[in-house]
Amino acid sequence: MALAPYSISPTCDYTIITSTSCASPRRYIYAPATAMAKKRLLLLAHKIFSAMLSLLLHGRRSRPSTTTTDSSSPAVHRGAPPPPTTAAAAGALVVDVDTALLRSGDLFPYFMLVALEAGGFLRGLLLLLLCPLVRLMPRAAAVRAMAAVSFCGLRAARFRAGRAVLPKWLMEDVAAEGFQAVRAAGSRAVCVTAMPRVMVDGFLREYLGVHAVVAREMKVVWGFYTGIMEDARPAEGAEMVKKAAEEQTVVVGYSASMEFLNHPLSRCCKEIFVVSSDEKSRWRPLARDKYPKPMVFHDGRLAFRPTGAGTAAMFAWLPLGVTLGAARLAVALVLPYRYSTPILAATGMSWRLKGSRPALAPPCSGGRGQLFVCNHRTLIDPVYVSVALDRQVRAVSYSLSRLSELISPIGRTVRLTRDRDSDGAVMARLLDRGNLVVVCPEGTTCREPYLLRFSPLFAELSDDVVPVGIAVETSMFYATTAGGLKCFDPLYYMANPRMCYTVQFLDKVDTSAVRSRAAPSTQMANLVQRKMGDALGYGCTMLTRKDKYLMLAGNDGIVR
């Protein structure tokens, strides 16, 4: 039997299919149009999602350059960096920071530093879980993905990791060979990088003296980073390169990756030097004494370079580290030094005495106490001075959290007010009572091998002082912070897998000339600082607590 023809009449809510066969009565078949509408909505949503994903991973296509350049391809030299004479004579030197200046070329640790120090452990764990996927992506897509995870949701006004945390690790990754080329070019060096500008701008300008940086910007909405990298705005460096190309001067490119040839500024180059992998493997790190600016201050909790494997080891250690830290704290608080010291050393928490202990009067002699002056590395410096002396001491401090004071094994800490007359009277009373007083005249901690300016107040309180050199070694976490919560400083130290304190007592320094007004107190303070710096091998500076906190935290460091 032949199929009966049907006529289709659309309506607004459904479709009516009418049978026109004479052999059968008229029938109505209703086909709802909602299924078709759902398909259209799903298709539209798929297109929107694909467009957003493409924008995140690939971004907008860069506009073609309007600069008039020679149509011929640049001469590519492979194997070595540009000679210093070539870099110095060039109208502009375009340096690929990621591959030609940094030895590792791996950007994951720097994004992990942002994720952990600015976002917290959960954000760092998320970035670590995405690490295998990031390794499979193209370089440009991987940078965008890491930036999205590291920055999304961070408050832009409070972001200081680019100035306070990253410069130390970037500087330690700088190759001496790459730095020589940048230094030879001087003000004509233009640095380009795939990292966001907010991560590298402070390091390149303040520590390497680079005047022009070409990098992408992080998009900010309502004061928060969205995690999306925008195309770089017209920058001074790009304009300088284009102007040099228009003036027919030689523009030299410098990279260790052939991907640099796809950068817009490479079109302006007459010559491009691409370092081979074999040559780069022989590069040396830039020596500390060759730094253009001393690396005195830096912030952040991590004491190791957070590579993928290192970060995974840290997260695996954290549960055990917290438990071990609590056990170490309990042992230090409950047991005497003679019993707690070997037990703590067995868990990796050790200390060393360099030299010999000073001769001290018996505790019950009734004489005036002794003043110990030590450099400041962590909040528990006085604890190890007490351990090394095997005597209870009284520590004075400008600012200390209630938690740190509560868990201190040497008893209550004396708080100072930063009022010179009041603080001097407090320490003088402690000495008159026969106490062993420990003071840190730097006023704040310093991690690097430098000594900050010594406050001269200590030289006016006693006829002699005992300088104490302190050195600290940690393997995973720093026990100090400028922008974080200070109450956790001792806990971070206790959670390290391995750490060691070195205590060195120096010869007594006669300060009676200050009390008799025969010598200024500042001169005596500088003398003690130099003696301590020579013994420790540290550099002496005139930087202060205020300088540190203005750089790392944006405030004067005074707790009000």
Helix, strand and coil percent figures for the chain, each rounded to 5? 45, 20, 35
What tokens does 410 get? 């040497």
Mean pLDDT, to the nearest integer, of 59-81?
Answer: 58
Plot region of 284 (φ>0 → left; ψ -120 to 50 → alpha; else → beta):
beta
Q: Dump pLDDT digits (tens) for 192-216.
A: 999 999 999 999 999 998 888 889 9
Say how far apart CA 220 and CA 230 lie, in whole Å. 10
DSSP state, residue 261:
G
* Angle subtended at Cα 328 by Cα 322 and Cα 332, rounded to the nearest 5 degrees: 145
List pLDDT tens digits, range 261-292.
Answer: 888 888 888 889 999 888 888 999 999 999 99
Q: How confident is the model at residue 111 (pLDDT cuts 50, 70, 90)?
A: very high
- Count of all residues that appear for the chain in the document: 560
| Inter-CA distances, 60 with 46, 56, 419, Å | 19, 9, 58
pLDDT per residue as tens digits for the range 426-468? 899 999 888 899 999 998 999 999 999 999 999 999 999 999 9
Domains and CATH numbers, the chain: 6-32 (no CATH), 63-105+165-290 (3.40.50), 318-552 (3.40.1130)
What is the dihedral sign for C-alpha 376, 382, 383, 384?
positive
Give the Cα separation of 186 and 454 in Å (integer). Answer: 36
State residue 61's pLDDT score.
Answer: 43
pLDDT at 30: 43
Q: What is the mean pLDDT of the chain?
A: 84
Question: Does pLDDT of 556 surpass 90?
Answer: no
- Our CA dihedral for 135, 138, 140, 142, rounded to 10 degrees, sits at -20
Per-residue pLDDT at 71 exceeds 80: no
The predicted pLDDT at position 363 comes to: 72
User: Which pair of tokens denotes residue 211?
Assistant: 């005047």
Residue type, 361: A
Residue with tokens 């410069």: 167
As a whole number of angstroms, the distance between CA 233 and CA 295 comes to: 30
| Helix or strand run (H / E) with residue 385 | helix 381-389
CA atoms within 13 A on the CB side of 195: 28
Q: Which of 30-34, 77-81, 255-259, 262-266 has the lowest mean pLDDT?
A: 30-34
Residue the block writes with tokens 């976002």: 119
Q: What is the 3-state secondary structure (H, E, C) of 32-54?
A: ECHHHHHHHHHHHHHHHHHHHHH
User: In this predicted structure, what is the pLDDT of residue 483?
Assistant: 84
Provide the pLDDT confidence category of residue 28 given band limits of 50, 70 and 90: very low
Contact assessment for residue 408 and residue 341, using Cβ atoms and an 8 Å cutoff: no
114/162 Cα distance (integer angstroms): 8
Q: What pLDDT sits at residue 265?
A: 83
Higher pLDDT, 489 or 19: 489
Which pairs from 56-65 meet CB under 8 Å and 24+ separation? 56/144, 56/145, 56/148, 56/228, 57/137, 57/141, 57/144, 57/145, 58/140, 58/141, 58/144, 59/140, 59/144, 59/229, 59/231, 60/231, 62/231, 62/264, 65/242, 65/264, 65/267
Going from the C-alpha of 46 to that of each of 51, 166, 199, 469, the distances in angstroms are 9, 39, 34, 65
Structure tokens at 127: 């970035």
Lowest mean pLDDT among 268-277, 344-353, 473-482: 268-277
- Cα separation, 200 vs 163, in Å, equals 8
E-state strands within 391-519: 394-397, 414-415, 437-439, 450-451, 464-474, 499-505, 509-510
Measured CA angle at 149 (ends 295, 44), to 5 deg: 150
Task: Mean pLDDT check: name the lowest of 62-71, 337-346, 361-370, 411-420.
Answer: 62-71
Give the pTM: 0.82
Per-residue pLDDT tens for 210-225?
Answer: 888 889 999 999 999 9
Instruction: Write down the pLDDT at residue 492.
Output: 93
Q: How many helices (H) and strands (E) does the chain have?
A: 21, 20
Model confidence at 19: pLDDT above 50: no
- Edge-to-edge strand list for the sheet holding 75-78: 75-78, 271-274, 251-255, 92-96, 189-196, 212-221, 224-230
Distance CA 24, CA 15 (A): 21
- The least confident of 58-67, 195-204, 245-254, 384-393 is 58-67
pLDDT at 405: 64
